[in-house]
Amino acid sequence: MHQLTVAAHEREIKGKGAARKLRKMNKLPAIFYGPRTEP
């Protein structure tokens, strides 16, 4: 089985416009959640 490592950073500015700017910078805006994680 392959292992994937993802580097993530919390965004300071949220919203559609901020997400579009991130995409233009070849970054992937996303929501990370799962068991035992805080929102």
Which residues are CB-contacts of 16 (< 8 A; sequence separation ≥ 6)? Answer: none
The DSSP letter of residue 25 is: T
Give me the residue spans of the domains in the chain: 1-32
The DSSP letter of residue 11 is: -
Place of tokens 């994937």: 4
pTM of the model: 0.61
Per-residue pLDDT in tens (0 to 9) along the chain, 39 residues: 899 988 888 889 999 999 999 999 999 998 887 787 666
pLDDT at 17: 95
pLDDT at 39: 61
DSSP for 1-39, please give it: -----------SS-SHHHHHHHHHTT--------TT---
